[in-house]
Amino acid sequence: MRPTAYDPDVPILPEDAQILSIDRIRSPYDARSPHYIEQGLSLDRMEVYLSATGV
C-alpha cells in the first residue's frame, strides 16, 4: 500500500490489478456509516455509468 499521489496523472491502481467488483457510495463519504447506492457492480457496468457522464 502507498498513499494516493497528488499528481492526477499517477495511476491509483497498478497496471496488473484485477477489479473484482465496484461499490457506488453516496457522498459525502462517512467511513463509520457508508450509504451504498449499488454494490457488487462489474467493471463493464461501471464503464457504462462513466461513459454516460462523459468520463
Q: 41 pairs with which residues across the strands? A: 22
Query: What total of structural domains would you count in the chain?
Result: 1
The whole-angstrom separation of Cα 46 and Cα 51 is: 9
Is residue 1 scored above 70 in pLDDT?
A: no
Cβ-Cβ contacts under 8 Å for 24 (sequence gap 6 or more): 36, 37, 38, 39, 41, 49
The whole-angstrom separation of Cα 29 and Cα 35 is: 8
Is residue 34 scored above 80 in pLDDT?
A: yes
Can you give the residue range of the structural domain that contains 38?
22-52
Q: Domain for residue 35, yes or no?
A: yes
Look up the pTM and report it.
0.67
Q: Quick one: average pLDDT of 23-47? A: 94
Q: 53: pLDDT confidence band, cut at 50, 70 and 90? A: very high
Q: Domain for residue 10, yes or no?
A: no
Q: Domain for residue 2, yes or no?
A: no
